[in-house]
Amino acid sequence: MRFLLNYSTKMPIQPSWLYNDTMILRYLRLILFLPGVLLGTQIPAVIDGYANRVDAHLIEARENFRGFQQIADHHFSGDVEALLRHHESSLDPIFREEAGSIRHIYLRIQKLSAISDALGKSWSSQLTQLVKARERLILEETLTSHSYTLPLKVETLLFGLASGLLLLSAAETVIRALYYLGWRRRVRSGTGKKLSKPHSSST
């Protein structure tokens, strides 16, 4: 028992700010939570706008590729790769150069189709595509034309609350960790506060 008492008296006092709710911490939580909520409420609208623009670019790419697809259907049973190989192996330099343009449109259609399919799935899949921003130019177009409103929908409110809580938790964790590390450094250097050793009794 005396050993535990002596050991505890050697332990430095940890700052109460790490555990107690101070007025500064309350204001900090409010300042971080509200912008997080407002930011989160914009996510569903941004996802919808991004999905619509991806679909529009996909339709445009398919329209530009329609003639080449018809040629592939007619001469190569719809095999676009066979059409590309035919162009690339041609002795005509114009055909070989055209193969690059055909392949570019073909690959773009595949990429946009994959993004469009992912944006039509679950919220987690949609958020992943938004974070990845595989079509950065389309996302920039979406953000430029986005109007920052507050639609009162269930998913919008849920995104807002989740975003606010996530930002608040992350910021508070970082602040507490930095404060704690700084406090430990002061303790090790001898400038931190320590408990005074109580008078030991004979019992």
Query: Mean pLDDT of residues grouped by 10 in the chain (203 residues)?
Result: 42 48 65 68 84 95 95 93 92 89 94 93 85 88 80 65 69 69 63 47 46
Q: Do 69 and 136 belong to one domain? A: yes
Model pLDDT, residue 84: 93
Q: Which residues of 104-135 are buried (b: 16+ CB within 10 A; e: fewer)?
A: ebbebbebbeebeebbeeeeeebeebbeeeeb
Model pLDDT, residue 150: 66
User: 107, 123, 147: which is the final residue of a domain?
Assistant: 147
Q: Do 119 and 71 belong to one domain? A: yes
Q: Do 172 and 193 belong to one domain? A: yes
Q: Do 136 and 169 belong to one domain? A: no
Q: Do 91 and 10 belong to one domain? A: no
Is this model's pTM higher than 0.75 or not?
no
Model pLDDT, residue 14: 47
Model pLDDT, residue 64: 94
User: How many structural domains are present in the chain?
Assistant: 2
User: 118, 147, 176: which is the final residue of a domain?
Assistant: 147
User: CA distances (Å), 41 to each of 126, 154, 157, in order?
Assistant: 15, 10, 6
Q: Could you list the residue range(s) of the whole structural domain that residue 93 is in? A: 43-147
Model pLDDT, residue 82: 94
